[in-house]
Amino acid sequence: MLTALPGRPPGDDPAVRPLLDAAHTELARTAEVFLDLAGQAGRTASALGIHRQTLYYRLSRVEQLTGLDLADGEDRLLLHMALKTARL
């Protein structure tokens, strides 16, 4: 369904592109799990097997790298769709 959308796919967004670089695989995975689990920090940390402070640090790095605000619904949606599209 995502590949059938007209226009530029979310993975082509300049804000998300740096996160999709191979050097940031773990940050991308962290963001995707966080978004898959509806932004629930406790469940995300548990799923990743990391301390909650580590999760917060990684999410902060994602925000710094992309310029997106994970507290903003549109930014979260853009990031989530870009991460899903990148795996297609």
pLDDT, one tens digit per residue, over 35-56 is: 999 999 999 999 999 999 999 9
The whole model's pTM is what? 0.86
Q: Is the pLDDT confidence value at 88 over 60?
A: yes
Rounded to whole angstroms, the Cα distance separating 81 from 71 reads 16
- Render the burial of 65-77: b for 16+ CB within 10 Å, e for the rest: bbebebeeeebbe
Rounded to whole angstroms, the Cα distance separating 77 from 70 reads 9
Q: Whole-number mean pLDDT of the chain?
A: 90
60 φ/ψ angles, rounded to the nearest 5 degrees: -65, -40
Please provide the size of the chain in residues. Answer: 88
